[in-house]
Structures are given as structure tokens and as C-alpha cells.
Amino acid sequence: MNRAQKRVLIGATVAALLMGAFPPWQYNVHAYGVQLSRQIGFHFLFSSPHLVTKGVYLEAHLNLGRLVVEWVTLLLASVGLLLVFNSPPKGS
């Protein structure tokens, strides 16, 4: 593993940890037979956002599907960069 690959690996690890520490959140509202789901951004994992709108409490949930997509995208990009920065074996 060369220097560029090590940097890619360290960067991907830091990015994955930050994605896990600040995951995407969404809120769900069930009112009048209609279900609404809206993205409310990225917040720290252990302090879920609390939303109050006109006296109605909106329940916040982790958007696990989006988090998995983020991690898979990061994994694919990292593997691609590791292959791009792959140096040929010495002696060839």
C-alpha cells in the first residue's frame, strides 16, 4: 500500500465515522389520513432534533436508508480511488 492509498483509506475512515456521528434525520407526520415524511438535515447521533410546529410535536427518526446509501457510495468511491492509486509491483 503506497502513500496515496493510505491517505484515501484514512480519509474514508474519517468520513464514515463522521457520517455515523451526524446521520441524516427525518420527521414523520400522520394527520388526517395522510402520511408526510420530510428530511430535516444532519444532527448529532445522541441528540435527536425536537420539532414543535403550531403546538404539534413532530417525531424525528434516523433515516437509515439514506445513511446506508451514503456509506455504500463512500465504500465504492474509496475502492475506486484505491484502484486508481494502485502502483505496479516492483520488478515488473
**pLDDT at residue 49 in the model:** 83
pTM of the model: 0.81
Beta strands 56-62 and 24-31 are antiparallel
pLDDT digits (tens, 9 = 90+) for 2-28: 999 999 999 999 999 999 999 999 988
Query: DSSP state, 9?
Result: H
Cell of 11: 480519509
Other C-beta atoms lying within 10 Å of the C-beta of residue 4: 14
One-letter amino acid at 71 equals W
pLDDT digits (tens, 9 = 90+) for 22-67: 999 998 877 777 778 889 899 999 988 877 777 666 778 899 999 9
Residues 6+ apart with CB under 8 A from 50: 57, 60
